[in-house]
């Protein structure tokens, strides 16, 4: 059985504050104090969630609401500041596809590197190498260092490797468009098959229709907090009504 349990999970991290013109003009002997200026971001606040086999969770919210941070906490990229987290099952992440690639290495070498990083064994990879290569449609370009790839070629390779895994839990951000219509159709079909096979899906999306199509649960994040949790129908309707109301307010028509 696979599961995800988050109990009062909080995520905080620090960023350097932007320097003002006044800061820039400060004498050098005081600049060390300037370099110490940091701002604490409370990215997730008291998150409580329980998912088990069969659950498909959509995460919606405006840019900066904490959606990507949510995925990164579950993936183990960001350790929570406080709270308890329990994850059971093999986790695969389909976001930030460039992670684990070496720009000086060839396409073939990067298939191995990325595959190992995703938790596949050398034996599994040796069995999948040709299938991954064929799906990417990169042909002889796989013999070149990926630093020479166009952005579209790079995403094709990254997508092909990342979707070759067989996880229990899939963490998915918006699908990245790359290539012609034929490849995009093939990529969407491959992704749909992967989603069907996994036991738990956590899906960040800006598409309300996708949330309705693929998911049985939905949360609305607002400034790092769960504003609403429920069925996709309930949550997307509330979110659309809220964002529509904000747009009307800004136009000054009510």
Q: What is the pLDDT of residue 249?
A: 56
Structure tokens at 20: 């003002």
Q: Domain 3-8+51-251: what homologous superfamily? A: P-loop containing nucleotide triphosphate hydrolases (3.40.50.300)
Q: Are 76 and 117 in contact (CB under 8 A)?
A: no
Residue with tokens 């088990």: 52
Query: Which tokens belong to 65?
Result: 């609401």
pTM of the entire structure?
0.83
Residues 211, 50 contacting (CB under 8 angstroms): no
For helices 107-117 and 122-136, give the axis angle rounded to 10 degrees: 130
Q: Give me the pLDDT at residue 244, please.
A: 87
Helix (H) or strand (E) holding 4: strand 3-16
pLDDT value at residue 31: 56
| Alpha carbon distance 243, 236 (integer Å) | 10
**Residue 103, both tokens:** 């720009």
What phi-psi label fits residue 51: left (phi over 0), alpha (psi between -120 and 50 degrees) or beta?
Answer: beta
DSSP helix/strand/coil, 252: coil
Q: pLDDT means per 10 residues in the chain (254 residues)?
A: 97 74 58 65 95 98 94 94 96 84 96 90 94 97 97 91 94 72 87 95 94 96 97 97 73 48
Q: Residue 161 belongs to what H/E stretch? A: helix 151-162
pLDDT (0 to 100) of residue 181 = 77
Cβ neighbours of residue 238 closer than 8 Å, sequence gap 6 or more: 220, 228
């Amino acid at each position: 059985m696979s599961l995800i349990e988050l109990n009062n999970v909080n995520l905080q991290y620090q960023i350097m504050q932007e320097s003002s013109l006044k800061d820039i003009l400060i004498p050098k002997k005081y600049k060390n104090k300037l370099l110490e200026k940091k701002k604490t971001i409370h990215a997730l606040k008291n998150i409580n969630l329980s998912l088990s086999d069969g659950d498909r969770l959509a995460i919606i919210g405006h840019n900066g609401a904490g959606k990507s941070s949510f995925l990164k906490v579950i993936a183990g990229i960001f350790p929570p500041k406080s709270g308890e987290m329990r994850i059971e099952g093999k986790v695969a992440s389909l976001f930030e596809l460039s992670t684990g690639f070496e720009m000086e290495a060839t396409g073939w070498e990067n298939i191995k590197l990325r595959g190992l990083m995703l938790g596949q064994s050398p034996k599994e990879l040796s069995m999948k190498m040709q299938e991954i290569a064929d799906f990417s449609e990169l042909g002889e370009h796989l013999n070149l260092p990926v630093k020479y790839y166009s952005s579209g070629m790079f995403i094709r390779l990254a997508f092909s490797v990342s979707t070759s895994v067989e996880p229990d839990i899939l963490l998915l951000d918006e699908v990245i468009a790359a290539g012609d219509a034929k490849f995009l159709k093939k990529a969407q079909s491959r992704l749909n098959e992967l989603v069907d096979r996994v036991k738990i899906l956590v899906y960040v999306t800006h598409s309300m229709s996708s949330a309705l199509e693929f998911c049985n649960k939905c949360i609305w994040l607002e400034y790092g907090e769960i504003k609403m949790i429920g069925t996709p129908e309930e949550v997307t309707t509330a979110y659309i009504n809220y964002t529509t109301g904000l747009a009307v307010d800004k136009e000054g028509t009510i």
